[in-house]
C-alpha cells in the first residue's frame, strides 16, 4: 500500500532529486494513474512518460529536445560495502542554437512536463547573447528497440552470499601466503538502465553493466603492495570474478612480488633508455595521451576552463596531416567491443557508435565526436568525402547530467608477430622496464610524466629495481619511439576512469594494448629537484 504522503510526493513532483537509493523495497514511479514500482526499462509506458516531456519542451518552443530516464543500481562488497538504486530523469532542449537542461529523480507525468518547460526556459535565457550557430548533425538511423549488454552472470540477479564468499576467499588465499599483508578487498557492480527519446522520433532502451574489483596485498620488507590488475572496470557481469582463476593470478602476483623484492635496489641513473612498458602501462599511456586529446569538445576548447584543451589545436589543418606517432602506431576507438566498459548499442544522443580509426599508421585521422561536435569537423569530413556524423561518443553517467563527449574504448593495434612482454625484454641489452603505471599529462595532453615500479634490464634479464625512476615525454615524440609492439596474444584490456566537465562527471573506458619497447625515452629521477 502506498501512503498518502507518497502519492503526494509523486503527484506534486516538486522535489527534484538526485540521489542513490538502497532499498529492500523497490522504488516507485507515477507512470499511470497511481504510484507503482518502477517497471523494467523495456516497459512501453516509459515512452509515454518521455513523450509527455518532449511535448512539453516542444510546446514551450524547443527546436529539438531529448530525454533520458535512468534507473541505476550499485552494489559494493566488503570494503565500502553498500547498495544503491536511483531513478533520474533529465531533459535537454535546444532553442535558437542554445542548450538548456533540467533534471530530477521523480518519474511522473507532472514532473516530466515541468522539466520539459524548465529546460526550454534555461535555453531561452541565453538567446539574449550573440547568435550561436549549431550544426546538429543528423543520425544515420533513428534509434529504435532494446539492447542488453551481453553478460553471463547478472550480479544483481544472484545471491549476494555467492559474491561475498568468492571475494572473501581471496582474503583467505592471501592470508595463507606466508609474509603476505592483506590490503583493500572489494567488488563493485553497476547496472544502468536507460530509456531515451527525442523530438526526432527515436526511442530506445538499453541495459549496461560495469564490474570491477580490487585485491591488494603486500610482501613484508618488499617495495610496497600490489593490486591484481585483472579486475579493472569491465563491461561484464560477475563472470569478471568467477571465470578468472583469481587464486592462480594471486599466487603468480605474489611470486612475482617475492622475486622483485629479492632484487637489489639501485638509484636511477638519469638519461635516455630503451624502455619496455607492460601492456598495463601502455594502456594508461594511451588513455592519457590519446583518450582525452581526441575528444572533439576538448579539442575545440569546451574544456578550457576545466581539465584543459588538446595538442590538436587546429583540427581542420591537423586532421589527415598531423603525425601523432610512427608508422606502427594505430589507435582505434569503438563502443562495440564485447567486455569493454564503454560499450553500448546507442550513445546518449541516440547515435549508433561507429568504429573509428583515430590514428592510422601514426597519422591523426579522426576525433571522438557527438552530434554537435561532428558538425565542427564538417570542413575536414567534406575533404574526405564523408558525411559529418557522430561516431557515438556522447555519454552521461545518469540522467541528472547532460551528455558530453567522453572517451570510447581504445585499442592500440598490436604487431603481427608473436612478441610478448618477455620476448621484448629479452631483446633489450641495456634498458628499463616500467610496470605499475602512474601516468599524468599536462592540461593540453602535450607532455607528461610517468612513475611506477622500474626494473633495470641487462642482456635481456631484469637485474635490479631502480628507485625513483620516472619518464618525461612529449606525446608525439613518445609515439614515434616505438621499436616493437607485442603480438595478438600479448594484449591486455584495462578499464580506466576519467573525469571531465563542469560540474565534474565520471566515465569509464577500456584500453586494449600490447606491451611495447620504445627507444630513447627520457628517464629522470623523480625525487630530484632543480
Partner 1 sequence: MKSDIIQNSDERVVSEKDLLAVCHKIGDIGSKAERLIMGAASFWTGELNWARNRVALSSDRRGFIIRLTVVRNNGVGFASTNQFDDESLEGVYNCAERRALRQASHRGNDIELESGVTDTISALTWSDETFDRTANQKAEIVKDLLDKVEDRSLTSAGYIETRGAVSAHFSRDLFSKILTSSGKMTQAECSITVRATDGTASGWAGQSGFDIGKISERDIADTAFEKCLKSFNPVRIEPGRYTAILEPQAVADLTSLLLHDGLLMSRSYAERGMGPFVAGIDHGVQRIRSKMGLKIMDERITISHDPSDPELGVIPIPGLKPVTWVKNGVLNSLAFEREYAVNELNERNTDIHRRSFRMSGGNTTIEEMIETSQRSLLVTRLFGLNIIDEGSMLSTGLTRDGLWLIENGKISKSIRNFRFTESPIFVFNNVRQLGVPMPVFSPVGDPGVISTVPHYGLQTAIVPPMKVDDFSFTSAVDAI
Which cell numbers in the block locate residue 80?
565500502
Smallest separation, CB 435 to partner 1 (Å): 17
Is position 17 an interface residue for partner 1 (rule: CB under 8 A)?
yes
CB nearer partner 1, residue 305 or residue 459: 305
Classify residue 155 by its DSSP letter. Answer: T
Is position 215 an interface residue for partner 1 (rule: CB under 8 A)?
no
How many residues sit close enough to partner 1 to count as binding (CB under 8 A)?
90
Smallest separation, CB 424 to partner 1 (Å): 27
Q: Which of 103, 330, 407, 413 binds partner 1 (CB under 8 A)?
A: 103
Q: What's the maximum distance between 2 C-alpha atoms anywhere in the chain?
A: 78
Q: Which of 36, 83, 96, 200 binds partner 1 (CB under 8 A)?
A: 83
Which cell numbers in the block locate residue 213?
574489483
> Interface mask (CB under 8 A) for partner 1, residues 248-277, using x and -?
------------------------------
Smallest separation, CB 293 to partner 1 (Å): 11
Is position 438 an interface residue for partner 1 (rule: CB under 8 A)?
yes
CB nearer partner 1, residue 259 or residue 504: 504
Smallest separation, CB 112 to partner 1 (Å): 13
Smallest separation, CB 523 to partner 1 (Å): 13
Range 469-508, binding partner 1 (CB under 8 A) = 472, 474, 502-504
Angle, alpha carbons 520-482-413 (nearest 5°): 160
In DSSP terms, 210 is beta-bridged to 190
Query: Which residue from 369, 301, 305 is spatially nearest to 502, judged by alpha carbons?
Result: 305
Distance CA 207, CA 432 (A): 44
| Chain centroid offset of residue 249 CA | 25
CB nearer partner 1, residue 105 or residue 339: 105
Range 164-203, binding partner 1 (CB under 8 A) = 164, 168
Give phi and psi for 176, each to the nearest 5.
-75, -15
- As to burial, measured by CB atoms within 10 angstroms (0-12 exposed, 13-18 middle, 19+ buried), residue 320 is middle
Distance CA 92, CA 297 (A): 18
Smallest separation, CB 400 to partner 1 (Å): 6
3-state SS string for 506-521: EEEEEEEECCEEEEEE
Q: Which of 328, 393, 405, 446 binds partner 1 (CB under 8 A)?
A: 446
Range 281-310, binding partner 1 (CB under 8 A) = 297, 300-306, 308-309
Q: How far apart are the first and last CA of the chain?
A: 70
Is position 158 an interface residue for partner 1 (rule: CB under 8 A)?
no
H/E run at residue 357:
strand 356-360
Which cell numbers in the block locate residue 516?
611495447
DSSP for 49-110 reads: HHHHHHHHHHHHT-SEEEEEEEEEEEEEEETT-EEEEEEEEEEEEEETTEEEEEEES--BHH
Is position 361 an interface residue for partner 1 (rule: CB under 8 A)?
no
328, 482 contact by CB (below 8 A): yes
Distance CA 251, CA 258 (A): 10
Is position 33 an interface residue for partner 1 (rule: CB under 8 A)?
no
Is position 442 an interface residue for partner 1 (rule: CB under 8 A)?
yes
In DSSP terms, 181 is beta-bridged to 218
Residue found by looking up cell 612513475 in the block: 451
Is position 104 an interface residue for partner 1 (rule: CB under 8 A)?
yes
Pick the piece of the chain touching partner 1 (CB under 8 A) from 18-26, 151-159, 212-220, 327-335.
18-26
Range 371-400, binding partner 1 (CB under 8 A) = 400
Is position 159 an interface residue for partner 1 (rule: CB under 8 A)?
no
Q: Which of 19, 158, 259, 265 binds partner 1 (CB under 8 A)?
A: 19
Amino acid at each position: 500500500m502506498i501512503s498518502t504522503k507518497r502519492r503526494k510526493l509523486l503527484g506534486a513532483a516538486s522535489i527534484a532529486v538526485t540521489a542513490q537509493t538502497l532499498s529492500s523495497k523497490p522504488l516507485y514511479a507515477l507512470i499511470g494513474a497511481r504510484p507503482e514500482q518502477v517497471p523494467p526499462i523495456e516497459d512501453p509506458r516509459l515512452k509515454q512518460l518521455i513523450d509527455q516531456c518532449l511535448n512539453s519542451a516542444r510546446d514551450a518552443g524547443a527546436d529539438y529536445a531529448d530525454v533520458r530516464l535512468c534507473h541505476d543500481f550499485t552494489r559494493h562488497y566488503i570494503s565500502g560495502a553498500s547498495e544503491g538504486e536511483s531513478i533520474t530523469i533529465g531533459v535537454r532542449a535546444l532553442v535558437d542554437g542554445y542548450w538548456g537542461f533540467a533534471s530530477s529523480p521523480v518519474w511522473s507525468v507532472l514532473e516530466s512536463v515541468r522539466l520539459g518547460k524548465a529546460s526550454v526556459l534555461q535555453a531561452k535565457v541565453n538567446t539574449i547573447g550573440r547568435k550561436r550557430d549549431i550544426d546538429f548533425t543528423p543520425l544515420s538511423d533513428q534509434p529504435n528497440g532494446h539492447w542488453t549488454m551481453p553478460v553471463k552472470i547478472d550480479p544483481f540477479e544472484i545471491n549476494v552470499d555467492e559474491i561475498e564468499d568468492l571475494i572473501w576467499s581471496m582474503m583467505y588465499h592471501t592470508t595463507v601466503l606466508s609474509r603476505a599483508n592483506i590490503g583493500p578487498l572489494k567488488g563493485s557492480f553497476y547496472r544502468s538502465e536507460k530509456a531515451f527519446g527525442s523530438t526526432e522520433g527515436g526511442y530506445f532502451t538499453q541495459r549496461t553493466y560495469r564490474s570491477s574489483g580490487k585485491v591488494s596485498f603486500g610482501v613484508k620488507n618488499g617495495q610496497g603492495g600490489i593490486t591484481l590488475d585483472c579486475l579493472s572496470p569491465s563491461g561484464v557481469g560477475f563472470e569478471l570474478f568467477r571465470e578468472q582463476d583469481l587464486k592462480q593470478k594471486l599466487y603468480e602476483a605474489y611470486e612475482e612480488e617475492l622475486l622483485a623484492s629479492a632484487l637489489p635496489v639501485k638509484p636511477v641513473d638519469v638519461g635516455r633508455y630503451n624502455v619496455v612498458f607492460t601492456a598495463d602501462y601502455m594502456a594508461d599511456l594511451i588513455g592519457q595521451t590519446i583518450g582525452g586529446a581526441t575528444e572533439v569538445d576538448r579539442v575545440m576548447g569546451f574544456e578550457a576552463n576545466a581539465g584543459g584543451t588538446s595538442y590538436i589545436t587546429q583540427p581542420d589543418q591537423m586532421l589527415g596531416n598531423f603525425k601523432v606517432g610512427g608508422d606502427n602506431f594505430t589507435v582505434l576507438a569503438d563502443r562495440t567491443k564485447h567486455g569493454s566498459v564503454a560499450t553500448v548499442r546507442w550513445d546518449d544522443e541516440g547515435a549508433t557508435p561507429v568504429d573509428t580509426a583515430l590514428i592510422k599508421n601514426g597519422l591523426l585521422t579522426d576525433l571522438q565526436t557527438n552530434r554537435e561536435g561532428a558538425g565542427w569537423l564538417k570542413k575536414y569530413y567534406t575533404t574526405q568525402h564523408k558525411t559529418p556524423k557522430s561516431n557515438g561518443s556522447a555519454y552521461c553517467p545518469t540522467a541528472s547530467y547532460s551528455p558530453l563527449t567522453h572517451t570510447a574504448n581504445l585499442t592500440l593495434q598490436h604487431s603481427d608477430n608473436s612478441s610478448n612482454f618477455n620476448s621484448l625484454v629479452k631483446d633489450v641489452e641495456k634498458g628499463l622496464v616500467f610496470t605499475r603505471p602512474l601516468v599524468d599529462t599536462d592540461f593540453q595532453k602535450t607532455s607528461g610524466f610517468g612513475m611506477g615500479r622500474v626494473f633495470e634490464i641487462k642482456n635481456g634479464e631484469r637485474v635490479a629495481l631502480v628507485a625513483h625512476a620516472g619518464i618525461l615525454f612529449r606525446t608525439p615524440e613518445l609515439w614515434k619511439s616505438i621499436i616493437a609492439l607485442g603480438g595478438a596474444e600479448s594484449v591486455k584490456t584495462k578499464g580506466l576512469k576519467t573525469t571531465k566537465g563542469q560540474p565534474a562527471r565520471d566515465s569509464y573506458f577500456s584500453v586494449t594494448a600490447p606491451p611495447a619497447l620504445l627507444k630513447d625515452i627520457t628517464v629522470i629521477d623523480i625525487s630530484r629537484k632543480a
